[in-house]
Structure 1
Amino acid sequence: MATSRTNSEAVVQVDLEATVRRSSRSVLTPTRFQYSAEIATDIKKKRTTTTTRPTTHNDKKHQNSRKDIKEEDVKNSAVECTSGGHAGLSSYELERLENIKQNQAFLSSINLFQATEELKQVTRPKLSKRRLMRLQAAVEKGVPVRKSLRLQSLTLPPKPRETQICGLVSTEDIKMELSLKEYRSALKNMKTTEDREAIVVNKLLVCAAFHPCTSSLLMATGNTFGTVGLWQLGSDWGNDSVLRFEPHTRVVACIAFSRAHPTHLLSLSHDGTVRCMDVEKAVFDDVYDSEEPLKTFDFMSHDCTSLVVGYFNGKVAIVDRRTPGNSHESIHSLKFKRSLLCVSVHPLQKQYFAVAENGIVNIYDSRYLKEKKSKTVSQLHGHSLSIHGAYFSPRTGNRVLTSCMDGYIRIYDTSAMTKKAPLLTSIRHKLQTASYRTRVSAVWDPKQEDCFVVGSTSKRHIVLVFHESGKLLHSFVDRDNVTSVLSVTAFHPTRNALLGGNASGQLHVFSD
């Protein structure tokens, strides 16, 4: 589709060359953009002025093929320039290429591939009986088992839970949760300081997420101008430890790291695209393209290969990254043909997903979606205005947390998936800010089934943590460092760390 292709080709470079290519799912040969618009323009001019010949019969016969060859020549010439042949380049271009090399070296230093390799161990085949016997014998004899330095130096997130029936939670998960007393104590030990803040993106910050690795705090953000920013806390790279890319042309509305492939960062934009960044290679793949604005997405499988993508106009698309192309498997109109602001997939029973639509939250079963007016499994009533947040609780999915512009945060019981979900708790909390683009939303702590965090629009500029009962557990206050509303908040999936982002593109980190 013409619109999507134009978006891909009009990538603007900020601090690092944002390489965009067709998704690996695409049947066509991937197209990489590894050069700047300025270099490409210069090369085209040189070829136009130095190479001229009369039009032949063969040219007329193969006009489209000649155009493709020209574009390929431009790309190859640009690659030659970046690989060492710098003849003809200005001092600015040479300096820029050197900056790109330094940035790529920094990405390699993050060593995110270590987390990927370790997570692959989860799905590797079981050891043979002979190998197991040898290891057991070595242990009995007191011979230390060899471990790579890579595995010794990196603490990884817990093994992804497999699909479970009827909302049951494994014993392992229960042990990971803290008691409320222990949880409050952990929150009190989390502080922010001057070196735990950075302007990650310019202008309004819309979304943010933590990388799941525990050995370092790496965060990703998106803003209203299509910028994706990466910030690693404590890094000594560059002036501010921040990398910025522009893979989109409009608002980056939703962003998330893949839990199964930690080097993959998925971003969704109002420009109608979903893209996956390989953080190590600084390459963006096209995952999904649409001619209509997109609003939100969530993973529909534990391996993060399937997505549910929400449109502004109330439609949802089911996308499977394993199939060829960058289109959807199916697309569906839901109960209401109005703006859709949030989707959330059940953490265990992945066929269920909640959608905030037209003043009501509906829960659907993806196995029974229809092309038009799909039926709901359950409904969450009681909202009087727009709902901009509706999320299943992170471990069991037995609760749904909603944020509504009527000034209330609500918690519903979804353990039984009844036709009308019971309302458990309603908390009065101002969610509107001075800017119509900035909305405060409550989100769960992924480590704690029954606790959530939300920013405050009061003059004190605090961040609050509540229990599902409505009890306030802790207030994060720092008048010296936090001087604005932190509208975007998120807890780290495994560490005691919390991020808060403001309208200026600045992130603050509270950690122990």
Structure 2
Amino acid sequence: MKALSSKAESGLLKLSSEAYPQSTKLEHRSTSDSGPLGADVHSSDEDSAPGLDDFSTLSPYERKRLKNIRENANFFASLQLSESAARLRGMIKKRQPPESKRKRPKKKESEIGCRRSMRLLKVEPLGISSPSAEPALEEEGIPLLPPGPLEMIPENQDDSSELLKASLKTWAEMSRMSNEKTKKGLSSVKSYKAYLSGMVVSEATVRKVTKGAISSVAIHPSEVRTLVAAGAKSGQIGLWDLSQQGEDEDGVYAFCPHSQPVSCLYFSPSNPAHLLSLSYDGTLRCGDFSSAVFEEVYRNETNSLSSFDFLADDASTLLVGHWDGHLSLVDRRTPGTSYEQFFNSSLGKIRTVHVHPVSRQYFITAGLRDIHIYDVRCLNSRRSQPLLSPTGHSKSIASAYFSPVTGNRVVTTCADCKLRVFDSSSISSQIPLLTTIRHNTITGRWLTRFQAVWDPKQEDCFIVGSMAHPRRVEVFHETGETVYSLLGECLVSVCSLSAMHPTRYILAGGNSSGRVHVFMHQESL
């Protein structure tokens, strides 16, 4: 009897261990401690089970607990969990098909791990050219114009041959500028300010002259008529005769002698009927009002041109600056193609070139962050050493110009929001810094950069555009004091570039939409 009950107990414990492993361990420990307490669990049925007298020592709780264990074991045995678990284990052990591994693309060596500001890295964006950045000689889709003279044919006039001929004849017969009036004594700042206060801008003195942004401005030195020339970034040159009043298009002629921005524009000092223009496309042309032709003065198909100035008073020789730092001395007196001498400066780039008004053997250049003064007699084809190299500019320089009468001052425009005035009265030694003027020169990407220029009539005052509201053109004294601010209701945009008439109180300012704003006395219209 004891052998049978031990066998039954082992079978019952085995079933219960499969169902409740943790509880089975506990129960097994309990039964082993109690000895024969659980021997007849399988054969007993509460009080009526046979052989119960042998377990009379069990409490009701123990008997009920053993009954629950037996019932649970029977229930889980009916579920056949062991067979289901065996089948699942067999399914898991079956070999699964290998996964198709995708080949990951190899990481490019030039790929940057994280995004970084190209502006802070001082790297130009790929495929995007900034309007203020240095140009390429021949951009994609902008072919160079053919060499040789180009006929003056306005793009904005259809049937204007007779009107254009009459205008060209009038411009050619304009009286030349009298240098005597300019060489007289300078006006006092008080009287100069009074003259400026009488200059106003009106709807009649605002006109769209070119298609694109204006990159250079010049005023004809005539005493009787007002003729303004504007060079555009599209390569256009617009001429506006304010003496022709009428419809909106009257008095405006737009020509296209260049294929890229016109960065420099001057009327010839010896013959104002000649308008000389320099462009990024590597050409320098002369618009002759008498022959109605844009003659080609100089051409360089390998280097892009940035600026030029007249080396001689009679405009027979020119000094041309290149974007890559080279210089060219062009002699217009040679028949046919102009004679050229090629020099290399000590600058990596040249933005502006300006010749001293008195000692014309000296000239000043504005580079990236330096201004250099050279002696033209000491230029070298390999590397020319400057006479002086004033320092102090922390960012790129937009321009550097001598004062117009004596050349004793130099004004520079820098991207560090400062205008600087230097003392250039003694070039042989040093040119010390006299004045530093805080002025916002951050025009952004789509506006032409400011260039502070001297008033040809006033040796000690210069003009510069402004970002202030309301929009204005500022006039500063060399000491840094603001002399006057030219503004008006019709001036609602930024005039980046300005030019002053050499003898009359007329100022022309150009903006980045091709409009010219002219400040003048009402009686001058």
Asked if TM exceeds 0.5, the reply is yes
Aligned CA distance change for structure 1 residues 259 and 367 (closer, same or farther; 3 Å): same
Q: Give 2:173's aligned residue.
A: 113
Q: Is the 8 A contact 2:153 2:255 kept in 1?
A: no
Deviation larger for 437-446 or 217-226: 437-446
- How far did residue 389 of structure 1 move? 0.7
Report whether the alignment pairs 1:7 with 2:16: no
CA distance in 2, matches of 1:433, 1:424: 25
Other structure's SS at 2:173 match: helix
- How far did residue 33 of structure 1 move? 5.3
Aligned CA distance change for structure 1 residues 470 and 281 (closer, same or farther; 3 Å): same
Q: Is the 8 A contact 2:264 2:279 kept in 1?
A: yes
Q: Deviations over 1:18-55 (max 9, x none)?
A: xx844xxxxxxxxx658999xxxxxxxxxxxxxxxxxx
Percent identity of equivalent pairs:
40
Q: Give 1:190's aligned residue.
A: 199
- How far did residue 176 of structure 1 move? 4.0
Q: Give 1:209's aligned residue.
A: 218
Aligned CA distance change for structure 1 residues 420 and 379 (closer, same or farther; 3 Å): farther
Q: Is the 8 A contact 1:198 1:240 kept in 2?
A: no
CA distance in 1, matches of 2:151, 2:505: 39
Q: Which letter does structure 2 place at the counterpart of 1:157? A: S
Q: Give 1:329's aligned residue.
A: 340
Q: Is the 8 A contact 2:332 2:338 kept in 1?
A: no
Q: Deviations over 1:322-370 (max 9, x none)?
A: 013434431111112x221111100011110000123111000001100
Match of 2:460 among 450, 454, 459: 450
CA distance in 2, matches of 1:250, 1:426: 34
Other structure's SS at 2:296 match: strand
CA distance in 2, matches of 1:33, 1:240: 21
Report whether the alignment pairs 1:459 with 2:469: yes
- How far did residue 373 of structure 1 move? 1.6
Q: Is the 8 A contact 1:394 1:444 kept in 2?
A: yes
Q: Give 1:104's aligned residue.
A: 165
Report whether the alignment pairs 1:485 with 2:494: yes
Match of 1:308 among 296, 312, 319: 319
Match of 1:295 among 306, 322, 331: 306
Q: Is the 8 A contact 2:441 2:450 kept in 1?
A: yes
Q: Deviations over 1:112-171 (max 9, x none)?
A: 3242xxx5xxxxxxxxxxxxxxxxxxxxxxxxxxxxxxxxxxxx4325xxxxxxxxxxxx
CA distance in 2, matches of 1:511, 1:107: 24
- How far did residue 207 of structure 1 move? 0.5
CA distance in 2, matches of 1:359, 1:503: 25
Aligned CA distance change for structure 1 residues 101 and 240 (closer, same or farther; 3 Å): closer
Other structure's SS at 1:340 match: coil
Aligned CA distance change for structure 1 residues 506 and 495 (closer, same or farther; 3 Å): same
- How far did residue 111 of structure 1 move? 4.2
Q: Which runs of 5+ in 1 are unaligned?
A: 10-19, 23-31, 38-94, 120-155, 160-171
- How far did residue 439 of structure 1 move? 0.5
Other structure's SS at 1:243 match: strand
Q: Which letter does structure 1 place at the counterpart of 2:309? A: D
Aligned CA distance change for structure 1 residues 233 and 114 (closer, same or farther; 3 Å): closer
- How far did residue 463 of structure 1 move? 0.8
Count of paired positions:
378
CA distance in 1, matches of 2:174, 2:449: 36
Other structure's SS at 2:291 match: coil
- How far did residue 320 of structure 1 move? 0.9
Larger relative contact order (CA 8 Å, sep ≥ 6): 1
Structure 2 matches for 1:426-437, cutoff 5 A? 426-436=436-446
Q: Deviations over 1:285-326 (max 9, x none)?
A: 000000121000001111111110000001110011101343
CA distance in 2, matches of 1:247, 1:265: 12
Q: Which letter does structure 1 place at the counterpart of 2:393? A: H
Match of 2:294 among 284, 292, 299: 284
Q: Is the 8 A contact 1:317 1:328 kept in 2?
A: no
Aligned CA distance change for structure 1 residues 34 and 158 (closer, same or farther; 3 Å): closer
Report whether the alignment pairs 1:251 with 2:261: yes
Q: Which runs of 5+ in 2 are unaligned?
A: 1-136
Q: Give 1:85's aligned residue.
A: none
Q: Give 2:275's aligned residue.
A: 265
Q: Give 1:400's aligned residue.
A: 410
Other structure's SS at 1:378 match: coil
Give TM-score, length-normalised by structure 1: 0.70
Aligned CA distance change for structure 1 residues 416 and 247 (closer, same or farther; 3 Å): same
CA distance in 2, matches of 1:225, 1:320: 28
Report whether the alignment pairs 1:510 with 2:519: yes
Larger radius of gyration: 2
Structure 2 matches for 1:76-155, cutoff 5 A? 96=158, 98-108=159-169, 110-115=170-175, 119=176
Q: Deviations over 1:166-186 (max 9, x none)?
A: xxxxxx756342111110110
Give TM-score, length-normalised by structure 2: 0.69
Q: Is the 8 A contact 1:318 1:329 kept in 2?
A: yes
CA distance in 1, matches of 2:485, 2:331: 41
Q: Give 1:137's aligned residue.
A: none
CA distance in 2, matches of 1:111, 1:305: 21
Match of 1:241 among 234, 251, 260: 251
CA distance in 2, matches of 1:101, 1:466: 44
Q: Give 1:473's aligned residue.
A: 483
Structure 2 matches for 1:384-423, cutoff 5 A? 384-423=394-433
Aligned CA distance change for structure 1 residues 175 and 100 (closer, same or farther; 3 Å): closer
Aligned CA distance change for structure 1 residues 293 and 202 (closer, same or farther; 3 Å): same
After TM superposition, the runs of 4+ consecutive aligned structure 1 residues lying more than 4 A away are 32-37
Q: Is the 8 A contact 1:104 1:281 kept in 2?
A: no
Aligned CA distance change for structure 1 residues 436 and 314 (closer, same or farther; 3 Å): farther
